[in-house]
Amino acid sequence: MHSLDASFSALADPTRRAILARLALGEATVMELAKPFDMTQPAVSRHLRVLEDAGLIVRRAEGTKRPCRLAADGLDGIDDWLALLRRALEPNYARLDDVLANMEPKPRTRTRKEKP
């Protein structure tokens, strides 16, 4: 599992998100990615390295090319973590939280017998 720091940090850049969106359509080489993004190949390669280190893409060797694709398990760590927040944001849970937040603290009822 790659670090969540690396995954979220990799996703915080708009060019890297655009590269991932392109790879969602299928595998692509650095050259194929550089053209529509109007970037140099070294610039694309730097972004790809960040995405690879974050476990979001994988690359394979094909002669001198190294086509990239989305990593099948690239979002697993992120999904697991976000699920925690999503559960807390579900309408029922949020309503319960509101109720609890607005409850007046009541004086505790004594359960101890008055006459021991």
Residues that bind its own copies (CB under 8 A): 4-5, 8-9, 11-14, 17, 20-21, 23-27, 69-70, 72, 74-75, 78-79, 81-82, 84-89, 94, 97, 100-101
Cβ neighbours of 100 (radius 10 Å): 8
Contacts of 59 (CB under 8 A, 6+ apart): 48, 52, 66, 67, 68, 69
Helix (H) or strand (E) holding 68: strand 68-70
> What is residue 58's three-state secondary structure?
strand
* Residue 103 or 115 with smaller CB distance to its own copies: 103
* Shortest spacing between CB 104 and its own copies, in angstroms: 14
* Residue 34 or 78 with smaller CB distance to its own copies: 78
* Shortest spacing between CB 1 and its own copies, in angstroms: 14
Phi, psi values for residue 105, rounded to 5°? -65, 125
* Residue 89 or 112 with smaller CB distance to its own copies: 89
* Shortest spacing between CB 116 and its own copies, in angstroms: 37
Residue carrying the six token digits 């409850």: 103
